Structure 1
């Protein structure tokens, strides 16, 4: 030890005790370099007022936000919807659904939203921003417009109940011109054009979504 002290004595060194790492700094580090791990949490040690024991506190990290784009289309060839679910990392999960039952244009917009919300729940999404170009649907679900007719009211209540199942969720309106790609895919689904859809999954829906949710 004496020899070591003589060797380093020529340098202006000062001993400093190690400082504690703040919990938020460690949490930010884990979030930045471990984005693939779900249900992230960190265990922090807090000093206890009783003796030398420590109290371990588990802090859950904030859940990332997913984005859902939906659109529905009705034409002479039939009706269908398009669903695009975007992960926090920017990956697009796309699907289209063709209806085997009669729907109006507004029904198709509601079916698009309801099916999109169901898919998001199935994959375990907690925080969601849903977007639709239907001003009517957005305002009815958000409480700005009153639903007219029993069928529309059932669709509205169905969408509202699904939104309540998320940790945090909101429905936003987008201009139709910003939804052009979604509208094109929805039209393909309405035509049941599997050639144009390519690798995009195409589902067939036999009955409306309303009875399946039990909102009567």
Structure 2
């Protein structure tokens, strides 16, 4: 066992957590001897590639060992979460959208149901408004940079027209605004402590997040 543990440490492997059973082998006697003999091990790269996984035991019908089933993507894609962007309050039309959505009411319901309806209506209206007025900041930034890059390529072989120079100049101004807006979004969605310590985009941070997500899932309930 010591040699096995030393090999695991040298290979930098981590053991997958088995859901539902503590042991995988039994001698089948009246006072059984139970052991955890069957295990799964993973590398850091595998955990990063498959963060959503479940290791389950199966029926030991043909052996004293429990077969193990490794399911990938068993938890399904995460539900889309509403995120309130701080820069929305500076955009034109934000207050009007919130006021119009909050004014919606339901008849003959209790105050808690009324509040829930208003909040959900604000969420839906803000999503529609954001998609129509703001859109994808990353996509707009990538498109603007690509057009500027094409103009730069053409400038090496010919003289750009006046409208092309004006377009490139306007896109460069837009890129500065979009880049600043993207930094604001990323700063809001990151933890200040991790940014200060420099772990926001490290491999260690992502592995810890994967481990926490696996531990926080409830795979089954026993009544």
| TM-score, normalization by structure 1 | 0.23
Higher helix proportion: 2
Q: Which has the higher contact order (CA 8 A, sep 6+)?
A: 1
TM-score, normalising length: structure 2: 0.23
Higher strand share: 1
| Pair member with larger Rg | 2
